[in-house]
Amino acid sequence: MTLILLQVITQTVSSTLYWVGLGRGIDGLPGPPMRRAWRIGSALVLATWLIAMVLLAANDVFRNGPFPPRVPTALLVTLAAGYLALLSGTFRQVIADIPQHWLIGIQAFRVLGAGFLIRYLQGGLPGVFAIPAGVGDVLTGIFAPLVAYWWFAGKPYARRAAIAWNLFGMADLVIAVTLGVLTRGGGGGIVFPLVLIPIYAVPRAFLLHSYSLIGLFGKAARKDGATAPETGLQTLPA
């Protein structure tokens, strides 16, 4: 019960912070009616997404069967939705107006990947899965606020550090999911509540990395790299 509460509370808090970050981008939309609609709409989407994942996971919907692999399928569907959303010019503008340091710093919650290491020490997960997944998450989470500060402070090495950090964080997620699939979640499959990590937290984190990188590489075309950047994703052409 303690682990269930911890996972639900953690995912709820991180989702709320994600919504607060979206709010920074929504502030840049024209007119109070549009801003209000996007705030309410985004809150409903995020709340529905979280509640649906919790209920489905609690009922063992994501316990892997022979085919299709349910956890990777849920993860890929979520990623597809996140990337397809970029087809909307308004959504691109919202993401563009989220400060880059926010897109980076919010991933400090990844330190909670230490839970994999704790489970390993308790004998609940094999080291081949828990150690790479746990260490990668912890390192990503520890460096998130530091890299975010470098960016906010306009350090000359901030952009390179942010790109390297994003790539490391994405690689960690890919490795963790791959090992999780190959070992069936460390033996017997990942069950509720830990299954919320690959089906909910991982795709959300991967999308944050993606949105951050799009903004970082978009700024590479600008001649003046000395000015401290303010936003995360450059507005893409409609």
Residue range 182-202, pLDDT digits in tens: 887 655 557 788 888 889 999
Asked, for residue 118, whether it belongs to a domain, the answer is yes
Dump pLDDT digits (tens) for 146-160: 999 999 999 999 999
Dump pLDDT digits (tens) for 191-237: 788 888 889 999 999 999 999 999 898 754 343 333 444 444 444 44
Number of domains in the chain: 1
Asked, for residue 227, whether it belongs to a domain, the answer is no
Asked, for residue 228, whether it belongs to a domain, the answer is no
Asked, for residue 229, whether it belongs to a domain, the answer is no
Question: Which stretch of 1-5, 117-121, 122-126, 147-151 has the lowest confidence by average pLDDT?
Answer: 1-5
Asked, for residue 232, whether it belongs to a domain, the answer is no
Asked, for residue 237, whether it belongs to a domain, the answer is no
Long-range contacts of 73-81 (CB under 8 A, 24+ apart): 74/198, 74/199, 75/177, 75/198, 75/199, 75/202, 75/203, 78/199, 78/200, 78/203, 78/204, 79/203, 79/206, 79/207
Asked, for residue 233, whether it belongs to a domain, the answer is no
Query: What pLDDT is attached to residue 227?
Result: 43
Query: What pLDDT is attached to residue 186?
Result: 54
Asked, for residue 230, whether it belongs to a domain, the answer is no
Query: What pLDDT is attached to residue 183?
Result: 80
State which residues form the domain around 164.
2-221
